[in-house]
Amino acid sequence: MQVGAREGDTVRVHYKGRLDDGSVFDTSEGQDPLEFTIGALQVIQGFEQAVLGMSVGDTKIQRIPVEEAYGERQDDLIFEVPRSAMQDGEDLTVGDLVQIHLPDGQTASMSVAAMNDDTMTLDANHPLAGKNLTFDLELVQIVHS
């Protein structure tokens, strides 16, 4: 009897991620399948839930709403900083990713959302925040725990 993927299992999944407009934002096509452990919070909640119960060889299309993906965009994660505060401020353009050193010693990735001569606007929201995601999934392997 074949048992579907369950919490604690390490699984290997081929996927193609699409936005509501049909554009592909990520895929494992031509690469090794994505490997993760169900329940270990290594992928977004909706992706993990979609794989639960699947058996090796199963395929499905799963739409994941914003709440189970990267959440809504948050205005409090958008910051305006003086360009002079950025070491590489002269070489940056809108859309670039920058690593910011936080006061607690950690770093955070932010994208440059806008800039003028004096300031730049940095956005710490995940690029897929506020978007529903649809995944074509194929379960390739299960290592039962």
| Whole-number pLDDT of residue 65 | 96
CATH code matching the domain that covers 78-123, chosen among 2.60.40, 3.10.450, 2.40.10, 3.40.50: 2.40.10
Whether 109 and 98 have beta carbons less than 8 Å apart is answered as: yes
Compute the CA torsion angle 16, 17, 18, 24 (nearest 10 deg): -70
Among the listed ranges 5-9, 136-140, 141-145, which one has the minimum average pLDDT value?
Answer: 141-145
Q: What is the mean pLDDT of residues 67-91?
A: 85
- Using the predicted structure, report yes or no on whether residue 144 has a pLDDT greater than 70: no
Strands 133-143 and 59-64: antiparallel
pTM of the model: 0.80
Which of the 8 DSSP states describes residue 75? G
Strands 59-64 and 24-27: unpaired
How big, in percent rounded to 5, are the helix, strand and coil portions of the chain?
Answer: 10, 40, 50
The number of residues making up the chain comes to 145
| Whole-number pLDDT of residue 84 | 82
Rounded to whole angstroms, the Cα distance separating 51 from 36 reads 11
- Using the predicted structure, report yes or no on whether residue 45 has a pLDDT greater than 60: yes
Confidence of residue 69 (pLDDT cuts 50, 70, 90): very high
- Using the predicted structure, report yes or no on whether residue 3 has a pLDDT greater than 80: no
CB atoms within 10 A of CB 48: 21
Range 10-71+128-143 classified under CATH 3.40.720.10:
no
